[in-house]
Structure 1
Amino acid sequence: MDPNSICRKTKRLAGKQAELCQTEPDIVQEVAKGARLGVRECQHQFRFRRWNCTSHNIRETAFVYAITAAGVSHAITQACSMGELLQCSCAATRSRAPPLPTAGPGAEGSAWEWGGCGDDVEFGYEKSRQFMDAKRKKGKSDIRTLIDLHNNEAGRLAVRSYMRTECKCHGLSGSCTLHTCWKKMPHFREVGDRLLERFNGAFKVMGANDGKTLLPVGHSIKPPDRQDLVYSADSPDFCAANRKTGSPGTRGRVCESAAPGVSGCDLLCCGRGHRAETLVLEENCLCRFHWCCVVQCRQCRVTKELSLCL
């Protein structure tokens, strides 16, 4: 996920990836940021589940591909809005009127126009597609390729399809005679939450005879749409270490002893039980601001109680 490491392997990259390394290295830097963003979000969403966000050909791989493609799209779009890329900036001003607010002062009878700095999600979407899909498109049409491309697209759509409208009110004394509105991406935590919901309802699929279509396994199941996550191989239980699947097992994992369901110790520890451990940490505390401009803090000891799987 380091941009320099990515581009040093140019000979092994697909054509579009190698081209981006050579012509747009700043885009590759945002790709690396987006991949790290996706990994962190994956670790947050699955922090109390047995799987540890390794990428292998199992059901969980669907989430890895989706959250990584979403992270790349999100990071590139954010860089555009922040003026960190020369190839893009804010989204182009729209010609159609924005939706009226449903409540608030001045909501009725005020003038509207697009303005501000909207997020150019189309640019981020396209660059994510070019880089993330390039290798898989290179002369391949097997079921693994189709599944990975489908989940990449589902991740990007979890960003692009949920843009929100933000507005600023203008006018004397709060009269709100004019609203300026722009489009913003959802927060990435929202993207992660949405993709986790899709993962929980993921479709098991098989390849059709044409080599280009994915079909759901089982009768009376609707075909997955573009935002659904799909997989072809069932998952192991992840309880024990397994080098083949990349699972380190769940021994030593932090769990919540009082939590029910998927976040509880009974499930995460696979019935082996758990032990309590006390950690003593030093953290900044009693911080004070001194004019001008220094913040001084003391070091305080903080005790934390953890539950660890046996």
Structure 2
Amino acid sequence: MHAVLFVPAVYLLLLLTPFTTSWWAAGSFLVMDPNQTCKRARWQRGKMADICHNKPGLLNQIAKGVALAQTECQYQFRYRRWNCTTLRRSIKKVMLRDTRETGFVNAIVAAGITFQVTRACTKGEQIGCSCSKRKKKRNKKKHTNPPLPEGDWEWDGCGENIEFGIKKSKDFLDNRYKKRSDMKTLVKLHNYVAGRMAIKNHMRTVCKCHGLSGSCTLKTCTRKMPTFREIGNRLKERFDGAAKVIPGNDGQSFMPEGETIKPPGRVDLVYSEESPTFCEPDSALGSFGTKGRVCNDTSQGEEGCGILCCGRGHKPHNEEVKVNCNCTFKYCCEVHCDVCKVVKKINTCE
């Protein structure tokens, strides 16, 4: 069974060396050292280079955002044949293609950077931003997303500045693609937007009351992001329903592969290549196969032995694990437990 590795916060999404012959490959890899990334950008200009050269605090938050995204990818894909592992550069090789998996990784990375930068801004980190300032009095006629609460209330002075997070995510990921319109770039940029919209479209309004003895003489409200787990869940749903697209007739857009398929919206994930099965080891594809993976013999889902084992069958065996047992409460206030060994039945793919 192959272990899922969690990636340090210094991992970043960016370029390979300038000697790479494939422009697409160079723009798709996850580079492990942000210092090396910025060294490669030292002769470049633009917003990404400006972050590297002049904004170390912001660069650090971007790195944390990429690490957050990779951890969430590994959680969301923990039962899939390809589990978003970084072992032996698996994710790097997967990103060379334009599959559904690639689309999800691009979306979750854009979301991770947006989320982390926005949260750092709210916490007062020195990254060149301020919290979101809003008018104290609400405009009853204006439609907003999320909808505004009923009754009399005022905006709190400081909300989560999602627009700043989105802008810095664009500066770091999108900016250098602006003059390109090839198919893979269009798909990449679309999925970046979908990742950010998974946050922006689901901001929630949180209110609290002020007054003596629990009264609500004044209610103040502010906007908050959803949790990153909610964002990951939402993007995983989009991954399951991702649309395959082909180049449009104008050479600067894409359209659904099938005529009866609804054109994807900004929140939908898209891809242009079919995914490999990931059933067998293939170093060129970043696949380790699924032999030895733990599966659930009672499930019909993606973690079930039928799907995860690719029809090869599975083998049950026992595994000894340690658990707390015979726990007693001692006044006051401690709980004492013994450590017991129990045998747990698990199934692994043949």
Check the 8 A contact 1:89/1:120 in 2, yes or no: yes
Q: Could you tell me which residue of structure 2 aligns to residue 105 of structure 1?
A: none
* Distance in 2 of aligned mates of 1:22 and 1:34: 19
Q: Which amino acid aligns with 2:194?
A: A
Q: CA RMSD in A?
A: 2.9
Unaligned runs of 5+ in 1: 103-107
1:2 aligns with 2:10: yes
In the alignment, the residues of structure 1 paired with residue 219 and residue 104 of structure 2 have an alpha-carbon distance, to the nearest angstrom, of: 39
1:114 and 1:181 in contact (8 A); partners too: yes
Q: Is the 8 Å Cα contact of residues 279 and 306 (structure 1) preserved in structure 2? A: no
CA-to-aligned-CA distance 1:108-135 (integer Å, 9 cap, x gap): 5xx4111164111111111011111134
In the alignment, the residues of structure 1 paired with residue 203 and residue 174 of structure 2 have an alpha-carbon distance, to the nearest angstrom, of 23
The 2-side partners of 1:287 and 1:29 are apart by: 46
Instruction: Return the alpha-carbon distance in structure 2 between the equivalents of residues 116 and 49 of structure 1.
Output: 44
Match of 1:125 in 2: 166
Give the conservation status (yes or no) of the 8 Å contact 1:7–1:18.
no
Distance of aligned partners of 1:190 and 1:144 in 2 relative to their CA distance in 1, 3 Å threshold = same
Aligned residue pairs total 299
Q: Does structure 1 residue 176 correspond to structure 2 residue 176?
A: no
Q: In 2, Cα distance between the equivalents of 1:232 and 1:242? A: 21
1:230 aligns with 2:261: no
Name the amino acid aligned to 1:237: T
How far apart, in 1, do the equivalents of 2:327 and 2:175 lie? 52
User: What is the alpha-carbon distance in structure 2 between the residues aligned to residue 146 and residue 129 of structure 1?
Assistant: 14
Whole-angstrom CA distance in 2 between matches of 1:114 and 1:302 = 55
Tell me how far apart the structure 1 counterparts of residues 336 and 50 of structure 2 sit (CA, whole Å).
49
Letter in structure 1 aligned against 2:160: D
CA distance in 1: counterparts of 2:348 and 2:37, whole angstroms: 39
SS of corresponding position for 1:237: coil
> Identical aligned pairs, as a percentage?
47
Per mean C-alpha deviation after superposition, the further-off stretch among 271-280 and 38-47 is 271-280
Residues 1:247 and 2:280 are matched in the alignment:
no
Q: How far apart in 2 are the matches of 1:124 and 1:285?
A: 50
State the Cα deviation string for residues 256-305 of structure 1 (Å, max 9, x = none): 2222222211111112222334143478997999x9xxx99878356454
Report the equivalent of 1:66.
Answer: 107
Q: Of the candidates 48, 55, 77, which is equivalent to residue 24 of structure 1?
A: 55
Please say if residues 132 and 160 of structure 2, whose CA atoms lie closer than 8 Å, have aligned partners that are also in contact: yes
Q: Are 1:300 and 2:339 an aligned pair?
A: yes
Q: Deviations over 1:182-235 (max 9, x none)?
A: 000011111111111111111111122433211111112222111111100001
CA contact (8 A) 1:20 1:28 kept: yes
Q: What is the TM-score of this pair, normalised by structure 1? A: 0.86
- Asked whether the 8 Å contact 1:11–1:18 carries over to 2, the reply is no
Residues 119-168 of structure 1, C-alpha deviations (whole Å, 9 max, x = no match): 1111111101111113434x432111111111011101111111000011
Task: Give the TM-score normalised by the residue count of structure 2.
Answer: 0.77
Equivalent position of 1:142 in the other structure: 182
Aligned to 1:118, the other structure's residue is in SS state coil
Letter in 1 for 2:199: V
* C-alpha separation in 2, matches of 1:97 and 1:302: 60
Which one is further off, 47-56 or 274-283?
274-283
> Could you tell me how far 1:90 is from its partner in structure 2?
2.0
Alignment of 1:7-86 (within 5 A): 7-13=35-41, 15=45, 16-53=47-84, 54=91, 55-56=94-95, 57=97, 58-86=99-127
Supply the distance in 2 between the matched residues of 1:69 and 1:28 (Cα, whole angstroms). 14
Q: Write the distance in 1 (CA, Å) between the matches of 2:156 and 2:341.
A: 47
SS at match of 1:262: coil
